[in-house]
Amino acid sequence: MGGFRFKQFAVEQDDVAMKVGTDGVLLGAWADCEGARRILDIGTGTGVIALQMAQRNATAQISAVEIDETASRRARANFDMSPWAERLQVVQVAVQQFEPTEQFDLIISNPPYFVDSLLPPDERRSTARHTHDLTFEELDRAVCRLLHEAGKFAIILPEVEFGKFLMLTQLHFVRRCNVHSVEGGAIKRVMGEFAKQSTAETIYENIAIEVAKRGEFSEEYRALTKDFYLKF
C-alpha cells in the first residue's frame, strides 16, 4: 500500500496492522488542542493523530503510547521524519501501565471498539481493533488518571459503542459531533469531547463526509481537513 502523504508530513505504514483511515484524521483535525501544553495519543498506531497534533499546536510536547512493538517502531520512524521530531515521543506500553511524570492537558484516542464480534485471524490487527486488550472501562480509568483537572479527552467511536462509553465514563460530556458518510445518511461515527470539569451545556455538531452524489466531498469536511489532505 505504501506511505500516506499529507501536506506537511508523511506516514509510512506497510508494516503496521491498522493503516491511516478517515476516523483518525477526522479526530486529529476536530479535537480542540488550542493551548494544550502536553498531549497524549492513546493507541497511536502509525502516529498520524500525534503528528496532526504537532502540526496544529506549535508548542505542545506530544506523547504517544502503543502496545504493539512494530507499530511503536513505525510511529517513532514517522515522528523522526516529520518537522516536529523533537516534540514527539512514543512509548511502547499498555496505557494501563503508562506512568508519566506529569498529567496531560489533552488526551486523544481512536481506540479499539469491537467488543463482541468475531476476532480477525491476524493477532496484531485483532489487538488494534478489539477491546480485549483495552476495554472501555480500562480506557476511562486511564484517562481519568492521566488527565489534568482542567484537561480534555477526545475520542471517536461508532454510534453504538460511543453510547456504551458515554454510559460508563466518569468524565463530563462537553461536545459531540455526529459523522455521516453522506449528507442525510445514518450516523457512521461519533466524535466526543469530555472533561473532568462540567460545563454549562454540551455542544452538538454534525459533519457529512460526502454530499448526496457519491465521491463529492462536502464543504465542511473539506474545511476541517484541508490543512492535511493533499487533495483539498
Write out the chain's pLDDT in tens, 232 residues. Answer: 458 999 999 999 887 877 888 999 999 999 999 999 999 999 999 999 999 999 999 999 999 999 999 999 999 999 999 999 999 999 999 999 999 999 999 999 999 764 443 334 454 444 444 445 789 999 999 999 999 999 999 999 999 999 999 999 999 999 999 999 999 999 999 999 999 998 889 999 999 999 976 679 999 999 999 999 998 8
Contact 47, 79 (CB under 8 A): yes
> What CATH class does 21-225 carry?
alpha beta
pLDDT tens per residue, range 62-107 = 999 999 999 999 999 999 999 999 999 999 999 999 999 999 999 9
Distance (Å, rounded) from C-alpha 199 to C-alpha 210?
32
Residues 35-61 as b or e (16 or more Cβ within 10 Å = b): ebebbbbbbbbbbbbbbbbbbbbeebb
**Amino acid identity, position 225:** T
Distance (Å, rounded) from C-alpha 217 to C-alpha 191?
19
Closest to 157 measured CA to CA, from 168, 144, 148, 145: 168
- The pTM (predicted TM-score) of the whole model is 0.91
Query: Cell 457512521 identifies what position?
Result: 188
Burial class (CB in 10 A: 0-12, 13-18, 19+), 155: buried
Scanning the chain, the segments in alpha helix (DSSP H) are 22-30, 48-56, 69-81, 123-129, 136-146, 159-168, 219-225
